[in-house]
Amino acid sequence: MSRIIAVCAMVFLLSGCSQKAAFEELADGVCTSAQEKLVAAHISSQIDAIAKEDWKLAYSYASPVFRSNVEIDQFAYIIGAQYGMLIDNQGYEFNGCTIANQKITQQVAVTSNSSVTDLTYILSVQKGLLGVDSATASEAKLEA
């Protein structure tokens, strides 16, 4: 049992190190492959937690700046009131990932109730770690 815990701890530490290295320098332009994978994993983890309505876990993927301005109860309310497609999602797809002015922008298409909603996520990096600053939804489109 202690070996399993040690292996899990090592994986956690190594993933944190790889995330830190991937975001040490945020050059404007298209995200690198490593950055894209880490951004997608971060957003996926938050969306999956939201779908389970695990507000504490979902909130933990928000940036420190977001968490300093929005309490967890407010976060849960906002998601329920404006981002229900994340709770009821039937899948999501990652599109363009870009960096500008030390911010990462990731496009995500979320399928829910026979429609697709495009979300624009803005993420920041603080002390080498990603955090979601915001997600803005565009008008939902019906699936063909």
Alpha-carbon distance of 31 to 56, in angstroms, equals: 28
Structure token digits, residue 128: 């080498």
Residue 15 token pair: 């993933």
- pTM of the complete model: 0.82
Residue 47 and residue 61 in contact, taking contact as beta carbons nearer than 8 Å: no
CB-based burial of residue 14 (10 Å sphere; 0-12 exposed, 13-18 middle, 19+ buried)?
A: exposed
Residue given tokens 């993927």 in the structure block: 61
Higher per-residue confidence, 17 vs 25: 25
State the amino acid at position 24 in one-letter form: E
Name the E strands within the chain: 29-30, 91-100, 103-112, 115-126, 129-137, 141-142
Show the domains of the chain with their CATH numbers.
29-142 (3.10.450.630)
Q: Is the pLDDT of residue 144 over 60?
A: no
Cβ atoms of residues 58 and 43 within 8 Å = no
Average pLDDT over residues 74-98: 96
Average pLDDT on 68-90 reads 97
